[in-house]
Amino acid sequence: MPHKTHTPLAGQAVLVTGAARRVGAAIARSLHGAGADVLLHYRASATHAEHLARELNNARAGSARTLQADLLDVNQLAPLIDAALGAFGRLDILVNNASTFYPTPMGAITPHEWDDLMGTNVKAPLFLSQAAAPALRKAGGLIVNLVDIHGLRPLKRYAVYCTAKAALAMLTRALARELAPHVRVNGIAPGPVLWPEDAPDADTQAKIISQTLLQRQGSPDDVARTALFLAAEAPYITGQILAVDGGRSLGW
């Protein structure tokens, strides 16, 4: 008997922000592998985005598109939704993954840093979700917001980032109320699954990993599998934030 491919998202369309690299790319691959067509948003990583689109289109022709946008400019958000609808005729899932992350030590925080961190982590997900809401209502769709365990427990020297992710956690719950019953809204709060590009030293990394209950680092695929679960296997879950952190949020 021929092997049947498991494609629970076949016929659905997904927009993933910040999809060119890292966790965003892993989520895009996972949802695409389950049958979805994917619009890959990027801001500056054009080469990575085009490479990923070629990879996905080689696996299934016409199933991936790319689009550049600066999410800090709210005028560029609605065109992202229009591009998904124009490419695939529908929008079923919005993944608000794009984020900025860097320290803001108290005493040196600038208004620009506030606007940047709050803009990418809260403002853009809100206004992009608002623009997507009509299409998502029509599809009975889903929004997945990438939060952070440090939106629940603050990280020293990252006050603005942590505040932004805490606001995104509340926005996730608020949108679940606002968009019910037609659209589900959930969040994923990763722990140590991928070190930032300015990674801490080896001793600090070891200390962070030692604070997880599972005593190991996770991976972007752990986050991607959770996004796929929410998209394909969890029709009665909304307004929830799932920690994908190896139990670190219990080990502080």
Residue 89 burial (10 A CB sphere; 0-12, 13-18, 19+): exposed
Task: Give the whole-angstrom CA distance, residue 108 versus residue 94.
Answer: 35
* Catalytic residue of the set 42, 102, 158, 161: 161
Nearest Cα neighbor of 104 from 31, 160, 169 is 160
Q: Which residues of 58-81 are buried (b: 16+ CB within 10 A; e: fewer)?
A: eebeebbbbbebebbebebbeebb
Token representation of residue 83: 């591009």
Q: Is 161 a catalytic residue?
A: yes
Measuring CA to CA, how many Å separate 91 from each of 7, 37, 80, 85?
Answer: 17, 9, 11, 6
Nearest Cα neighbor of 53 from 41, 70, 35 is 41
| Catalytic residue annotation | 161
